[in-house]
Every structure is written in structure tokens, then in C-alpha cells.
Amino acid sequence: RKMTSFSSIKSDLKNAGVEWVDQEVVVDQGLVTSRTPEDLPAFNKKMIEEFAEGSHDRSRVRKNNDLAEPLTLH
């Protein structure tokens, strides 16, 4: 997954397999992340857009409509 965050947890996320980027807002398969409180206006705008779009990843739903295994960050 691609994400952003406070720089203080950048290495933790990278160690968990995340592609960390230094951007105001990042969206990956409907997961919206931002860096700091200063990014909240952009984060809120993107969240509203994502809610309006609806579900992104139908591949995570099995044929019998059970959710597939959740993504785990180590």
C-alpha cells in the first residue's frame, strides 16, 4: 500500500511494507492518509470525494460476499 504520515513513523510504515510518500494526501484503494494537522483541509476534501465514489476494491470481496482477509501491516 501507498501511504503518508507524520515523518516520525515513516520508518515503521516502511518496515511494514508501505510505500511511504511525502505528500499532503495519499489515497490507495480507498484508504486516505495525510501527514499533519495542517493537511486536514485537503484530507477532509479527499474523504468527501472518496465517500461519494463508494467502494474501490471489489477484489477483496469473495464470490459468496464474505470479506476477504483484511490487510495486515506488520
Q: What is the pLDDT of residues 10-59, one digit of tens each?
A: 999 999 999 999 999 999 988 999 999 999 999 999 999 999 888 765 55
Q: Which of 60, 71, 52, 59 is nearest to 3 (CA)?
A: 71
More confident residue, 8 or 58: 8
Q: What residue ranges do the domains of the chain occupy?
A: 2-57
Instruction: List Cβ neighbours of 61 (8 Å cut-off, separation of 6 or more).
Output: 67, 68
Backbone torsions φ then ψ of 19, nearest 5 degrees = -85, 100
